[in-house]
Amino acid sequence: MPETIDEQITIEKTKDPKEIPADDDLDFGRLFSDHMFMMEYESGKGWHDPQIIPYQPLEIDPGSSFCHYCQVTFEGMKAYRNEDDEIMLFRPDKNAERLNNSNRRMCMPELDPEFFIKAVKTLVDVDSDWVPSSEGTSLYIRPFIVATEKYLGLKSSDSYKFLIIASPVGSYYPEGLKPTEIKVETEYVRSVKGGTGAAKTGGNYGRSLLAQNQAAEEGFDGVLWLDGRERKYVEEVGAMNVFFRIDDTIVTPSLEGTILPGITRDSVIKILEDRGEEVEERKLEIEELAQAYRNGYLQEAFGTGTAAVIAPIGRIQWEDLNMEINDREVGPLTSEIYDILTGIQRGRIKDKYDWTDKVK
C-alpha cells in the first residue's frame, strides 16, 4: 500500500489567466486550463511538495529516463457540470485504483488513492470556470506520472513527477451519436499476454498508431484489435473496450491481462445487468462474430471509453467480409446505454450506484 500523504497542497494562482472559450468553440485536448497540479517523488523521501501552479512547460533533462524508456503511466477522466450547476467527477476512485495497478506494472511508485482524488478535486476547483456546461461538454482531466531520473541505464527511475493537466472539451457528438466504421487488424498487434495491455502506459498507445493510420488511409475510423497470440479473439476497438449484442445477449471480451479494464466498460456492464440484460464477459472469437453476422444475430456493436463514453459501430470489415450492423444506424440498446450513462454523469438520472462525486 502507498503511504498516506498528509502534506497540504500549495496553490499559486496565475497572474495571467487565459480567455476561456465558448462551449461551442471547444476542441479536444489542445487548450489547457490555467493551472496544473505537480508533485515530486524521490526514493527514500516518497511523494512530496504537492502544488497547484500556473500551467507551464516542464523542464525535463534530455537524459531523463522517460524520454528514452517510456516509464510513464496516465489516467483519463472528466469533470461535468450537472443541471444544478455542481461540478461532478465520475468514479474517480476507479482511476486512482487503476493508476496504481499501472504503476505496479511499470515499476513506478503508487499514490495514496485519497490524495489522488483530493489533488484532482483541488485542481478542478481552482479551475472551476473552465468546466463547461453545455450538453456533451466537460473538463477532460489527464493525471500522469513520468520518470525523471537523469540516467541512461535501463532501470526503474529513482525520481518521478506526478502531474494533472485539464482541457475543456466539446461534445464528442455535436450532431448526435454517429456510428463508426472499423476494420479488423490482422497484421499489427496492440498487446499480448505478459505485456502491458492492461496498464495505462504510453507504449501501448504509440505502438497502435501505425495500424490506426493505415486504417484511416483505407477509409476506416479505426481498428478492431485481435489477440497477439492466436489472432483469433477480439480485444479492443481503437483505444476503447468493445461490446456486441449477439442474439439478445451482450458479449464483451473478458479481462485476460491484455485489455485495459475500462471504467466505462465496468459501468456499462453494471447498467446492463441492472436492466436485466444477459452480459457475458468471455473470450470472443472473430469467427464467432462473423458467424453471428452471417446468421443475422449480430444486432449491435459499440466501443466504450472516457472520451466518447459510447461509440456505436456501424460496420466491421474483416478481410473480405463486410459486416454492416443494424443498417449502420445506432442500435436501440447502444443509444439507451449512452443516455443512461451520460444521464447519471450529468445528474439527470438518479445515481443509485454512488458513482458521481461532487468536487465541492
Give how far Cα 161 sits from Cα of 3, 54, 273, 280, 331, Å. Answer: 16, 16, 40, 39, 43
User: Which listed residue (207, 283, 315, 328) binds a copy of itself by CB under 8 A?
Assistant: 207
For a copy of itself, which is the closer residue by CB, 96 or 165? 165
Q: How far apart are CA 124 and CA 142, in angstroms?
A: 11
User: Which listed residue (87, 88, 239, 263) binds a copy of itself by CB under 8 A?
Assistant: 239
Binders of a copy of itself among residues 79 to 108 (CB under 8 A) are 105-107
For a copy of itself, which is the closer residue by CB, 185 or 300? 185
Cβ–Cβ < 8 Å for 71, 156:
yes
Give how far Cα 16 sits from Cα of 3, 22, 35, 140, 282, Å. Answer: 36, 19, 11, 22, 52
Determine, following the binding rule CB under 8 A, whether residue 167 of this chain makes contact with a copy of itself: yes
The closest alpha carbon to 309, from 131, 76, 30, 88, belongs to 76
Q: What angle do CA 88, 139, 95 make, to 5 degrees?
A: 65
The closest alpha carbon to 114, from 264, 6, 36, 37, belongs to 6
Determine, following the binding rule CB under 8 A, whether residue 14 of this chain makes contact with a copy of itself: no
For a copy of itself, which is the closer residue by CB, 115 or 144? 144
User: Which listed residue (9, 26, 52, 72) binds a copy of itself by CB under 8 A?
Assistant: 72
Determine, following the binding rule CB under 8 A, whether residue 174 of this chain makes contact with a copy of itself: no
For a copy of itself, which is the closer residue by CB, 110 or 300? 110
Cβ–Cβ < 8 Å for 36, 51:
no
Stretch that binds a copy of itself, among 91-99, 144-152, 295-303, 344-352 (CB under 8 A): 144-152
Determine, following the binding rule CB under 8 A, whether residue 212 of this chain makes contact with a copy of itself: yes
Determine, following the binding rule CB under 8 A, whether residue 219 of this chain makes contact with a copy of itself: no
> Kind of pairing, strands 180-184 and 77-81?
unpaired
Determine, following the binding rule CB under 8 A, whether residue 223 of this chain makes contact with a copy of itself: no
DSSP 248-285: TEEEEE---SSS---HHHHHHHHHHHHTT-EEEEE--B
Stretch that binds a copy of itself, among 110-118, 191-199, 290-298, 308-316 (CB under 8 A): 191-199
User: Which listed residue (11, 20, 67, 271) binds a copy of itself by CB under 8 A?
Assistant: 67
Determine, following the binding rule CB under 8 A, whether residue 154 of this chain makes contact with a copy of itself: yes
- Phi, psi (degrees; rounded to nearest 5) at 338: -60, -45
DSSP 326: G
The binding site for a copy of itself (CB under 8 A) comprises 28-30, 32, 36, 55, 57-63, 66-72, 74, 105-107, 140, 142, 144, 146, 150-156, 163, 165, 167, 187-189, 192-196, 201-210, 212-213, 228-231, 238-239
